[in-house]
Structure formats: structure tokens, C-alpha cells
């Protein structure tokens, strides 16, 4: 998915999550890279792959990042 499409998708379907991502990362390019890169804590899936099927898992992961809980 191209950068613009990733950001559009998150803004349109997960606006509350986008608001949190922009507070955390400050830049759409960083959000796009973060969202499309697989994460060990998400069973090697990228956040964008899980947003539609398991948004709560992505939100929980973001909360852990904010708290610094990477265990």
C-alpha cells in the first residue's frame, strides 16, 4: 500500500488511532513506515495488516509503547 493510501485509510477508518499516532510520531511519513513494518509484538504482522480485523491489538501495542512496556 502506498504512503498516501496508508494514511488515508487510517484517517478515514481509524481517526482516533491516527490522532494518537500523530501525537506520538508527529509526521505522516513516520506513521506510514511504522504502520507498514512488521512488529514482533504483533506476531510479525504490521499494524496496518491488523487495523481492520484486530484494531484493539494495535491500540494495546501503542499503549505499551507509550508506557515503555516492551516486555
List own/partner pairs for 53-62 with CB under 8 A and 24 or more apart.
55/14, 55/17, 58/17, 59/17, 62/17, 62/20, 62/21, 62/24
- Map out the domains of the chain as residue ranges: 3-67
- What pLDDT does 3 receive? 73
**Which residue in the block uniquely carries the three cell numbers 480485523?**
53
- What pLDDT does 49 receive? 95
CA distance 38 to 32: 12
**In which band, very low, low, confident or very high, does the pLDDT at 21 lie, cut at 50, 70 and 90?**
very high
Mean pLDDT of 3-13: 91
**Which residue in the block uniquely carries the three cell numbers 500523530?**
22
**In which band, very low, low, confident or very high, does the pLDDT at 70 lie, cut at 50, 70 and 90?**
confident
pTM: 0.85
DSSP character at residue 32: H
- What pLDDT does 22 receive? 96
Amino acid at each position: 500500500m502506498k504512503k498516501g493510501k496508508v494514511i488515508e485509510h487510517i484517517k478515514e477508518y481509524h481517526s482516533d488511532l491516527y490522532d494518537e499516532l500523530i501525537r506520538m510520531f508527529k509526521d505522516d511519513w513516520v506513521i506510514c513506515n511504522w504502520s507498514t513494518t512488521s512488529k514482533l509484538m504483533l506476531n510479525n504482522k504490521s499494524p496496518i495488516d491488523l487495523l481492520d480485523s484486530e484494531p484493539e491489538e494495535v491500540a494495546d501495542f501503542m499503549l505499551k509503547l507509550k508506557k515503555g512496556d516492551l516486555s
